[in-house]
Structure 1
Amino acid sequence: MLAQYMQQIETIGLNFFFAAIFFFIGMAIHDVLKQGKVPKFGQYIVWLVLFLGCAGFIAKGIIQVTWETSGIG
Protein backbone atom coordinates (compact mmCIF):
# COMPACT_ATOMS: atom_id res chain seq x y z
CA MET A 1 0.00 0.00 0.00
CA LEU A 2 2.83 2.37 0.77
CA ALA A 3 4.28 1.91 -2.72
CA GLN A 4 0.98 3.09 -4.25
CA TYR A 5 1.20 6.43 -2.49
CA MET A 6 4.95 6.97 -2.67
CA GLN A 7 4.73 9.88 -5.11
CA GLN A 8 2.10 11.64 -2.98
CA ILE A 9 4.17 11.11 0.16
CA GLU A 10 7.24 12.53 -1.58
CA THR A 11 5.27 15.54 -2.82
CA ILE A 12 3.83 16.28 0.62
CA GLY A 13 7.24 15.85 2.24
CA LEU A 14 8.84 18.20 -0.27
CA ASN A 15 6.13 20.81 0.33
CA PHE A 16 6.68 20.61 4.09
CA PHE A 17 10.42 20.91 3.51
CA PHE A 18 9.96 24.08 1.46
CA ALA A 19 7.57 25.48 4.09
CA ALA A 20 10.23 24.87 6.75
CA ILE A 21 12.88 26.52 4.58
CA PHE A 22 10.67 29.60 4.10
CA PHE A 23 10.07 29.70 7.87
CA PHE A 24 13.79 29.57 8.66
CA ILE A 25 14.55 32.20 6.01
CA GLY A 26 11.90 34.41 7.62
CA MET A 27 13.41 33.92 11.06
CA ALA A 28 16.90 34.75 9.74
CA ILE A 29 15.63 37.87 7.99
CA HIS A 30 13.78 38.94 11.15
CA ASP A 31 16.99 38.57 13.17
CA VAL A 32 19.07 40.50 10.64
CA LEU A 33 16.50 43.31 10.45
CA LYS A 34 16.36 43.66 14.24
CA GLN A 35 20.11 43.56 14.76
CA GLY A 36 20.75 45.94 11.86
CA LYS A 37 18.17 48.44 13.16
CA VAL A 38 16.60 48.73 9.71
CA PRO A 39 13.93 51.48 9.40
CA LYS A 40 10.28 50.39 9.28
CA PHE A 41 9.88 51.21 5.57
CA GLY A 42 12.83 48.98 4.71
CA GLN A 43 11.44 46.20 6.87
CA TYR A 44 8.10 46.41 5.08
CA ILE A 45 9.82 46.15 1.69
CA VAL A 46 11.86 43.13 2.80
CA TRP A 47 8.77 41.35 4.18
CA LEU A 48 6.79 42.19 1.05
CA VAL A 49 9.46 40.60 -1.14
CA LEU A 50 9.57 37.51 1.10
CA PHE A 51 5.77 37.24 1.05
CA LEU A 52 5.66 37.55 -2.74
CA GLY A 53 8.24 34.79 -3.04
CA CYS A 54 6.14 32.51 -0.83
CA ALA A 55 2.95 33.47 -2.68
CA GLY A 56 4.60 32.66 -6.01
CA PHE A 57 5.69 29.27 -4.71
CA ILE A 58 2.16 28.53 -3.46
CA ALA A 59 0.62 29.71 -6.75
CA LYS A 60 3.02 27.48 -8.68
CA GLY A 61 1.98 24.50 -6.57
CA ILE A 62 -1.72 25.21 -7.08
CA ILE A 63 -1.27 25.64 -10.84
CA GLN A 64 0.78 22.45 -11.04
CA VAL A 65 -1.84 20.41 -9.17
CA THR A 66 -4.64 21.89 -11.30
CA TRP A 67 -2.83 21.10 -14.54
CA GLU A 68 -1.91 17.58 -13.46
CA THR A 69 -5.48 16.73 -12.45
CA SER A 70 -6.88 18.07 -15.72
CA GLY A 71 -4.33 16.12 -17.80
CA ILE A 72 -2.39 19.09 -19.17
CA GLY A 73 0.93 18.46 -17.41
Structure 2
Amino acid sequence: MLSKLINEFETLGLYFALAGIFFFIGMAIQDVLKKGDVPKFGRTIVWLVLFLGCSGFIAKGLIQVFWQGAGVG
Protein backbone atom coordinates (compact mmCIF):
# COMPACT_ATOMS: atom_id res chain seq x y z
CA MET A 1 0.00 0.00 0.00
CA LEU A 2 2.72 2.45 0.98
CA SER A 3 4.86 1.70 -2.08
CA LYS A 4 1.88 2.27 -4.40
CA LEU A 5 1.18 5.60 -2.69
CA ILE A 6 4.83 6.63 -3.04
CA ASN A 7 4.80 5.63 -6.72
CA GLU A 8 1.71 7.76 -7.38
CA PHE A 9 3.24 10.68 -5.49
CA GLU A 10 6.43 10.42 -7.56
CA THR A 11 4.42 10.33 -10.79
CA LEU A 12 2.41 13.42 -9.84
CA GLY A 13 5.57 15.20 -8.77
CA LEU A 14 7.19 14.43 -12.10
CA TYR A 15 4.20 15.75 -14.04
CA PHE A 16 4.04 18.96 -12.00
CA ALA A 17 7.79 19.47 -12.34
CA LEU A 18 7.61 19.06 -16.10
CA ALA A 19 4.65 21.45 -16.28
CA GLY A 20 6.70 23.97 -14.31
CA ILE A 21 9.64 23.55 -16.66
CA PHE A 22 7.37 24.15 -19.67
CA PHE A 23 6.01 27.27 -17.96
CA PHE A 24 9.48 28.67 -17.29
CA ILE A 25 10.60 27.89 -20.84
CA GLY A 26 7.59 29.82 -22.10
CA MET A 27 8.39 32.78 -19.86
CA ALA A 28 12.02 32.80 -21.05
CA ILE A 29 10.93 32.67 -24.70
CA GLN A 30 8.47 35.50 -24.13
CA ASP A 31 11.26 37.60 -22.59
CA VAL A 32 13.66 36.91 -25.47
CA LEU A 33 10.98 37.70 -28.06
CA LYS A 34 10.08 40.93 -26.30
CA LYS A 35 13.70 42.10 -25.91
CA GLY A 36 14.58 41.05 -29.46
CA ASP A 37 11.71 43.04 -30.97
CA VAL A 38 10.65 40.05 -33.07
CA PRO A 39 7.86 40.66 -35.65
CA LYS A 40 4.39 39.24 -35.04
CA PHE A 41 4.79 36.46 -37.63
CA GLY A 42 8.00 35.25 -35.98
CA ARG A 43 6.38 35.28 -32.55
CA THR A 44 3.46 33.26 -33.90
CA ILE A 45 5.79 30.62 -35.32
CA VAL A 46 7.78 30.38 -32.09
CA TRP A 47 4.63 29.97 -29.95
CA LEU A 48 3.20 27.43 -32.42
CA VAL A 49 6.33 25.30 -32.16
CA LEU A 50 6.28 25.54 -28.36
CA PHE A 51 2.60 24.60 -28.25
CA LEU A 52 3.10 21.62 -30.56
CA GLY A 53 5.98 20.38 -28.42
CA CYS A 54 3.89 20.58 -25.25
CA SER A 55 0.84 19.02 -26.84
CA GLY A 56 2.95 16.16 -28.20
CA PHE A 57 4.27 15.48 -24.71
CA ILE A 58 0.75 15.54 -23.26
CA ALA A 59 -0.56 13.27 -26.03
CA LYS A 60 2.27 10.81 -25.37
CA GLY A 61 1.36 10.72 -21.69
CA LEU A 62 -2.33 10.19 -22.37
CA ILE A 63 -1.63 7.41 -24.88
CA GLN A 64 0.66 5.74 -22.37
CA VAL A 65 -2.00 5.90 -19.64
CA PHE A 66 -4.72 4.50 -21.91
CA TRP A 67 -2.51 1.70 -23.22
CA GLN A 68 -1.39 0.68 -19.76
CA GLY A 69 -5.00 0.73 -18.57
CA ALA A 70 -6.02 -1.52 -21.46
CA GLY A 71 -3.13 -3.91 -20.86
CA VAL A 72 -1.40 -3.19 -24.16
CA GLY A 73 1.88 -1.80 -22.83
Q: After TM superposition, which residue ranges in structure 1, 4 or more long, deviate above 6 angstroms?
A: none
- Unmatched 5+ stretches in structure 1: none
Q: Which residue of 1 aligns with 2:23?
A: 23
Distance 1:38 1:2 in 2: 51
Deviation at 1:49, TM superposition (A): 0.2
Normalization by structure 2: what TM-score?
Answer: 0.94
Q: Across the two proteins, how many residue pairs are aligned to each other?
A: 73
Distance 2:7 2:37 in 1: 45
Q: Which residue of 2 aligns with 1:40?
A: 40
Normalization by structure 1: what TM-score?
Answer: 0.94
Q: Which residue of 1 aligns with 2:51?
A: 51
Percent identity over paired residues: 67
Distance 2:4 2:20 in 1: 26
1:32-71 per-residue CA deviation (whole Å, 9 max, x = no partner) reads 0000000000000000000000000100010000011111
Distance 2:26 2:4 in 1: 35
